[in-house]
Amino acid sequence: MSDKAGKHFDLATQGRICVLCPNMCRYLCPVAAVEKSETTSPRGKATLALGLGRGEVAFSEGEAAALYHCATCKICREWCPSNVDLPEVTRELRERAAREGLAPPAVRNLAERLVRDRSLHGPAAALAAEGLSRYRQLVSPGAKVLYFAGCSTATLQPRVVAATLRLFEAAGVKVARLQTEECCGLPLDVLGFREEAAAFARGLAAAVEAGGYQTVVSGCPMCTQVMKDRYPALGVTLGADVRHVTEYFAGLAEEGALGGPAGKRDTGNPRAAGDAPSDTGPPAGAGTYHDPCYLGRYQGVYDPPRRLLTGVAGLALVEMERHGELAACCGGAFTTDTVRPGTATSLASRRIEEAGRTGAGTLVTACPHCLEMLGPAGADRGIAVCDITEVLAERLGVLPRRSA
Ligand code: SF4
Ligand code: SF4
């Protein structure tokens, strides 16, 4: 493991640094905030790493369970003055837990199901047939750009798939889809099943090579993050550029290919709710944007979605108090949702409350897992939650508006 300067920074060293710290990051850790437990705070997990490293703690199912009380949101990494990489510490220990059969039953069950079905939401082969026939008119076999929807978007968010394909069409970009799109491998990697994740990565790399694709575009930040950052760590080379849809479409907008000249100008009024108090509140129709952890903190993609929302969609953007690098997690990461569904739901409610404080009636995000978590929480509070591709496609008139 290396720190930001590339210096070797082993597990025990990270644990030693962390246990000497005032532990202020626990106030930012969303899991610690909800569960109110020192054991599952960032430092609690680092203390476990130190104890295991020194051989002072026996690794059991109980200890292993604490490692899965982490949303992998990475906000502790933003805060940490000592540059401790808690998500990476957690990942390494989860790999040990998985190897030694100590991962919680819910995690083992999810991993087994994924390896068997090749998708999160049912057998991949069965899902592929339906998806391919539904969008046949919008894909071009032989195209060099591969649209990889991701299994959660493909199964749970067909409107997002349609919006994305129509945006490609509007921009004049021909895209292909795989005959059978399998999971990208991220859930297995995050849960500690490294070898199984690597097998999925090798499968996708072979499909990309066989199709001769030059670019892979996905609207799921977890898919793009694992392809960009984790495939190399797993020893797999994906022979194509990887872009999240917001990066890709922002590039097209800059070229004037998406929404014409509007793609080059900001027409909105981005404002941080906490920074600029207003007597009048946000303008009618204002929206706020939730930065998905895996798009923002993991990939550093903060500006492209905002440029698209203000420049192409003409949205009056009102920022939540915690946005950008310090955006709060929605609870949609696999560990929280799988192992601690109650914690995940609380995180979603807190995030929607924060959105509500901006006065905006719409919350836009750019991740199917955020949509799944924030949608129901938003419905409870009268806040419409939608994907950025839906907003753009509606604005460009290539997707019917949602009925209110
Ligand atoms: S992760 Fe960093 S900020 Fe948090 S307790 Fe450890 S050393 Fe301190
Ligand atoms: S990654 Fe997020 S949930 Fe996990 S310890 Fe850090 S702040 Fe807490």
Q: Is the pLDDT of residue 319 over 50?
A: yes
- Do the two domains 106-247 and 260-395 of this chain adopt the same fold? yes
List, for residues 328-337, the tens digit of each pLDDT value: 999 987 666 6
Architecture of domain 106-247: 3-Layer(aba) Sandwich (3.40)
Cβ–Cβ under 8 Å, residues 272 and 199: no
pLDDT of residue 280: 58
pLDDT of residue 278: 46
Residue nearest to atom 3 of ligand 1 (CA): 80
List, for residues 373-391, the tens digit of each pLDDT value: 999 999 999 999 999 999 9
pLDDT of residue 263: 41
Residue nearest to atom 6 of ligand 2 (CA): 76
The CA distances from residue 296 to 42, 71, 209, 285, 357, in Å, are 20, 15, 28, 25, 22
Q: Is the pLDDT of residue 283 over 70?
A: no
Shortest-distance ligand to the CA of residue 88:
2
Residue 35's H or E segment, with its range, is: helix 30-35
Phi, then psi, of 108 in degrees rounded to 5: -60, -40
Q: Is the pLDDT of residue 128 over 90?
A: no
Q: Is the CB of 70 under 6 A from ligand 2?
A: yes
List, for residues 16-64, the tens digit of each pLDDT value: 888 888 888 888 999 998 888 888 889 998 888 888 888 888 999 999 9
Q: Rounded to the nearest whole angstrom, what is the distance from the C-alpha of residue 274 to the centroid of ligand 2?
A: 23
Report residue 1's pLDDT band, with 50, 70 and 90 as the boundaries: very low
Architecture of domain 260-395: 3-Layer(aba) Sandwich (3.40)
Of the listed ranges 170-184, 205-219, 281-295, 299-313, the one predicted with least confidence: 281-295
Question: Would you kindly state where each structural domain of the chain is located, as residue ranges?
Answer: 11-102, 106-247, 260-395
Q: How many CB atoms lie within 10 A of CB 136?
A: 10
Q: Is the pLDDT of residue 338 over 80?
A: no
Q: Rounded to the nearest whole angstrom, what is the distance from the C-alpha of residue 20 to the centroid of ligand 1?
A: 9
Q: Rounded to the nearest whole angstrom, what is the distance from the C-alpha of residue 170 to the centroid of ligand 2?
A: 39
Residue 110 to residue 90: CA distance in whole angstroms: 18
- Identify which of 348, 363, 347, 388 has the alpha carbon closest to the alpha carbon of residue 273: 363
Residue 319 to residue 273: CA distance in whole angstroms: 5
Q: What is the mean pLDDT of residues 358-373?
A: 96
List, for residues 183-213, the tens digit of each pLDDT value: 999 999 999 999 999 999 999 999 999 999 9
pLDDT of residue 6: 42
Can you say whether the dihedral through the CA atoms of 44, 74, 69, 48 is positive or negative?
negative
Q: Two tokens at 51?
A: 């104890």
Residue nearest to atom 8 of ligand 2 (CA): 29
List, for residues 133-176, the tens digit of each pLDDT value: 778 888 998 999 999 999 999 989 999 999 999 999 999 999 99
Q: Is the CB of 86 under 6 A from ligand 1?
A: yes
pLDDT of residue 402: 80
Report residue 219's pLDDT band, with 50, 70 and 90 as the boundaries: very high
List, for residues 234-275, the tens digit of each pLDDT value: 999 999 999 999 999 999 999 999 874 444 433 344 444 444
Shortest-distance ligand to the CA of residue 35:
2
Residue 302 to residue 287: CA distance in whole angstroms: 16
Q: What is the mean pLDDT of residues 103-127?
A: 89
Give percent of the chain above pLDDT 90.
Answer: 65
